[in-house]
Chain A
Amino acid sequence: MNAIGLLVLILFILMIFVGGNQGLKVFFGLLINFIVIFILMILINWQFNPYVVTAVVSIVILAIAIYLGSDNQAVANTAFQTSLIVVAILMVIAVVAQHFGQFQGFSTENSEELEGLSLNVGLSFSHVAMVVMVISLLGAVAEAAMAIIADLNEVIDRTPDMTSNSLYAHSRIIGGQILGTAINTLFFGVLGANLPLLIWFIRLKYSLAMFVNAKVLMMEVVTMLLGMLGILLSIWVASWLVVRQFVKHKKVGIK
């Protein structure tokens, strides 16, 4: 049996054991997102407008990650709303960063892998760089939004008669905690994805100048920074939305 197949099977069984029905949903959510990313790559390869494709696919991926990841409809709705706003902002920042930083394509570090491949392929790798930046931050944005909204809803459930100011203060405290752990998750995730690259840079004694300018390494740094910005904005926007909804809800309640 194929090793990856076996591990996927183990993951599936564990998800069912731990999450039951919800675990099943999470597993299929991952599977669907995998297929959606395939479709994204096919569409971009067919030269569809990369901005439109990325925007649409991001919405689909976020919807699947959020609605199939959570049992609570109210939490999921707000999280989805938050993620859309944040990803839209970050997509703009990604385009600007790509414009100035020119992170596209491969570099001399990749020459071994590129051997024998045609490199004049008529597909703009400048667009590909933007797509990579946006896709890699989707997960982090959704996770941060879900975490803070779930926690705040719990606070509201426990003390429904609190003022909006004290809810906002709560959101600051909870937000700070979630920010710390979420940024750690992203940080280690990116490091874990780039260990060989970092070893390469240190082993081949790259100059300090290359450490802060080289394309392949800076692409990863930008991806990480955008992800962290995404987490921060996500917490920010989410707590603002929750407080706004809470205030609205209260007014209706008084009437």
Chain B
Amino acid sequence: MIFFQKTKKYWFVLGALVLTWVLLRHDAIIYQQPVGQVVHETARLTQKTTDEHGNTDKIYSQRLTIKLLNRNKTVTLSNQYADSQTVTHRYHVGDQLLLDGTGKLRILSLKRDATIGVLLVLLVSLLLLYVKWRATSWLLSSLIINIILFVLALVIDINVKNANVLLIFVILAVLVAFSSLALVLGRTLQMVVTLASTLLATLLAMILMLVSLKVTANEGVHFETMSYVTQVPTTLFIAQTIIGVLGAVMDESADIVAALFGMRREKIAHHFKDYWHAGMNVGRDIMGTLVNVLFMIFIAETMPMVFLMLRNGNNWPYILDQIMNLGILQTVVSGIGIVIAVPVTSALVALIVKHQQVVKS
């Protein structure tokens, strides 16, 4: 009993996870299209393939008996998959599927909401356990506000004819930075300084990127290789990079400004130089790991395509040039933003603090 008492919180988390899983496995009613669950499957090997690059793969034909969960019906569908599952998909008994079509149904997608839901609940409940209700609600509300702003920007971008994409996302970046910082720091001088240095550093990184692209006439940069492109890729890339670097720069600026304002409160520093050096010290320590955060995200993103290209007999120089090109560019530009934020923030805070002292005296 004592064991249960002590670990009560964790049992709640477990309960929430199970509940989410069960609920989302039985939510077929709220879907408009047919949703089915695989109740029986048989697979047989139909072909062993060897492609022109010497890759061998096995192709199976699968017969799936699917019980529709929101229609009163059971159907059998056939499905082909290869062992590698690059674009084909193997379905298992118990998998829930989204189906589509009138008359003859076809498989649209695996139903993944339960998996995502459980992960989301795991994250939120652990957040609640660690930082308590108030801080969690602040954090989540800031994320939700940012998502809403983001969706708004996307909708404007898509629905307005000849929209100035760059302008939309620059405004988005300013708003998002403002809302995140205002929620964390409130309406203080500290918040204004952090916001100003965040925007300034991001702007400088973008200018450096654009100038470099101009000077070299985009040599070695292949915007046309961007995936999922539905509009001019160059501006899209710039918008993407602004958003990507914003969070990291905000993180860094907030740290530096917080440290320097702490010094001001404790009155241990007096000169521009003191603040400048202290700011550079704080920034120096965190810039490396921050660059790594974005680096890992951007590079991991390109991995599936890199593997496919490798298997298709492409050499590394070609893959670097065509597949990883934009990921590398985004990492480097973000890196520049993160590094440049250190002197920008240090100088800005030092100037403002110094100026205030002069005014006071």
Contact = CB atoms under 8 A, between A and B. Distances in A.
Interface string A151-193: 0000000000000000000001001110111111111111111
B31 to A, nearest CB: 6
Contacts of B157: 199
A232 B127 contact: yes
B42 interface: no
B205 to A, nearest CB: 10
Given A102-B89, A136-B301, A210-B109, A6 B123 contact: no
A49 interface: no
Interface residues of A, number: 125
A189 B343 CA distance: 22
A214 interface: yes
Interface string A122-165: 11111011011101111110110011001000000000000000
A148 to B, nearest CB: 12
A52 interface: no
A254 interface: no
Interface in B133-165: 135, 138-139, 142-143, 146, 150-151, 154-155, 157-158
Contacts of B332: 4, 7-8, 11
A121 B84 CA distance: 6
A123 B312 CA distance: 11
Contacts of B89: 102, 105
B189 to A, nearest CB: 18
Interface string B252-291: 0011000000000000000000000000100111111111
B55 A124 contact: no
A10 B300 contact: no
A223 B329 CA distance: 21
Contacts of A104: 85
A108 to B, nearest CB: 8
Contacts of A212: 112-113, 116
A1 B213 CA distance: 10
Contacts of A241: none
Interface stretch (B1-9, B235-243, B350-358): B235-243
A222 B220 contact: no
A38 to B, nearest CB: 8
> Which size class do B's interface residues fall under?
35 or more
Contacts of B304: 105-106, 125, 128-129, 132
Contacts of A233: 126
**Which of B116, B158, B208, B245 counts the most chain A CB atoms within 10 A?**
B116
B221 A4 contact: yes
Contacts of A227: 297
A102 B254 CA distance: 38
Interface of A: 1-8, 10-11, 14-15, 17-20, 22-23, 25-26, 29-30, 33-34, 37-38, 41, 44-45, 61, 65-66, 68-71, 93, 97, 100-107, 109-110, 113-114, 117-126, 128-129, 131-133, 135-140, 142-143, 146-147, 150, 172, 175-177, 179-200, 202-204, 207, 209-210, 212-215, 218, 221-223, 225-229, 232-233, 235-236
Interface of B: 31-33, 49, 51-53, 55-57, 59, 82-89, 95, 98, 108-116, 119-120, 122-123, 126-127, 130-131, 135, 138-139, 142-143, 146, 150-151, 154-155, 157-158, 176, 180, 184, 208-209, 212-213, 215-216, 218-221, 226-231, 233, 236, 239-248, 250-251, 254-255, 280, 283-301, 303-312, 316, 325, 328-330, 332-333, 335-336, 339-340, 342-343
Given A192-B241, A196-B226, 4 more contacts: A3-B216, A119-B308, A121-B86, A122-B84
The 6 closest A-B pairs by CB, nearest first: A192-B244, A188-B247, A69-B288, A136-B300, A120-B57, A26-B288
26 contacts: A1-B219, A3-B218, A7-B333, A10-B336, A19-B339, A29-B292, A69-B289, A71-B285, A100-B114, A121-B55, A122-B311, A124-B84, A125-B84, A128-B304, A143-B289, A179-B127, A185-B251, A192-B244, A192-B294, A193-B301, A197-B227, A198-B154, A202-B151, A203-B158, A210-B108, A229-B123
